[in-house]
């Protein structure tokens, strides 16, 4: 199979029918073999009914329904697990991503041998309250990750199949799939300027809190990817340094008391600072030790309740 198109859906019953028809036209015009995997992320409208009906009308449309809203990362992760195409395309269900971009994204993966191609919505139809924080978010992410992309959070992306089978997307990590791919060893990551369309139906499902959450997730993904399998390396190092600083302070005060007959150790604020750093260092060291035990015995973090599947079995 040439292409798997993964579409996370959350209360988009007005747009998914039109999106499916548009995708099908592009695929037929380019003679691609394909499947469309729609993941209903706990919608409260008629999205699942429409997905089921599309699956009846066209066996290439497959559906997964979550019992509740788990978020975009969970939807993408399940779609990645189910995808069978050589190239995997992700796009949003709100018609702001254009399926007309699919042939060129496919070509870049197959002919230019990219592992991942991210869309870049160079011209956006969003208010400044959204575009300015987005530019700041992307600049910070470029600086942290070293990946030269302009739009990390663009929903329109193309992947080699081996990439989506090698990354684990959880929490709100969908923003950082290029970072996850790089850490998994996929280094050829590119981008393509794509069309950004004004929203035709409904309203956005993301508020301003996504920028705060996004920054915290960026810190998380960098720490987890670097130290997730060996947390002792960060907690143990910082804890040991803190303990040694505190021990050095208390040793100095003890020597000053014994040999130089200075005033009581407990009368000096430095004594309490040294005591605090020893306690802090010991706690960090123990945290690293416990985290190491948890990391070595933890099971898969992606545990979702899937209520129904359509056309996948």
**The model's pTM:** 0.74
Q: What is the pLDDT of residue 129?
A: 61
On whether both 162 and 58 belong to a single domain, the answer is: yes
Distance CA 51, CA 49 (A): 5
The single-letter DSSP state of residue 196 is: B
- Statement: residue 302 has pLDDT above 60: no
On whether both 196 and 238 belong to a single domain, the answer is: no
On whether both 103 and 204 belong to a single domain, the answer is: yes
Mean pLDDT of 48-59: 94
On whether both 93 and 126 belong to a single domain, the answer is: yes
Mean pLDDT of 34-53: 95
Our count of domains for the chain comes to: 2
Q: What is the pLDDT of residue 305?
A: 57
In a domain, residue 308? The reply is: no
Q: What is the mean pLDDT of the chain?
A: 85
In a domain, residue 311? The reply is: no
CATH number of the domain that 16 lies in? 3.90.550.10
Q: What is the pLDDT of residue 228?
A: 61
Mean pLDDT is highest, among 8-22, 136-150, 256-270, for 8-22
DSSP 238-259: HHHHHHHHHHHHHHHHHHHHHH
Distance CA 122, CA 174 (A): 20
Q: Which residue has the higher pLDDT, 38 or 300?
A: 38
Confidence of residue 171 (pLDDT cuts 50, 70, 90): confident
- The domain of 164 spans 3-227
In a domain, residue 55? The reply is: yes
Q: What is the pLDDT of residue 252?
A: 87
Choose the final residue of a domain: 167, 194, 227. 227
């Amino acid at each position: 199979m040439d292409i798997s198109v993964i579409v996370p859906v959350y209360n988009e019953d007005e747009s998914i029918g039109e999106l499916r028809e548009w995708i099908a036209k592009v695929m037929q015009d380019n003679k691609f073999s394909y499947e469309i995997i729609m993941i209903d992320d706990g919608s409260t409208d008629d999205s699942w009914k429409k997905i089921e009906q599309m699956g009846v009308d066209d066996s290439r449309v497959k559906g997964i329904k979550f019992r509740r809203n788990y978020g975009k990362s969970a939807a993408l992760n399940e779609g990645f697990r189910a995808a069978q195409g050589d190239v995997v395309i992700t796009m949003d269900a709100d018609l702001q991503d254009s399926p007309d971009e699919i042939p060129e994204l496919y070509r870049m993966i197959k002919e230019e041998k990219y592992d991942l191609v991210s869309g870049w919505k160079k011209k956006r139809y969003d208010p400044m309250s959204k575009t300015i924080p987005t530019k700041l978010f992307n600049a910070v992410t470029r600086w942290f990750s070293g990946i030269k992309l302009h739009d990390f959070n663009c929903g329109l992306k193309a992947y080699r199949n081996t990439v989506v089978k090698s990354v684990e997307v959880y929490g709100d990590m969908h923003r950082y799939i290029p970072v996850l791919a790089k850490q998994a060893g996929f280094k050829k990551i590119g981008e393509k300027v794509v069309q950004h369309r004004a929203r035709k139906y409904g309203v956005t499902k993301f508020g301003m809190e996504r920028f705060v959450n996004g920054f915290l997730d960026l810190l998380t993904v960098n720490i987890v990817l670097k130290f997730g399998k060996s947390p002792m390396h960060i907690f143990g190092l910082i804890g040991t340094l803190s303990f040694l600083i505190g021990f050095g302070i208390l040793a100095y005060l003890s020597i000053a008391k014994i040999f130089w007959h200075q005033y009581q150790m407990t009368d000096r604020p430095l004594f309490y600072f040294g005591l605090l750093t020893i306690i802090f260092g010991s706690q960090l060291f123990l945290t690293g030790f416990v985290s190491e035990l948890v990391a070595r015995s933890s099971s898969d973090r992606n545990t979702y309740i899937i209520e129904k599947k359509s056309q996948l079995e």
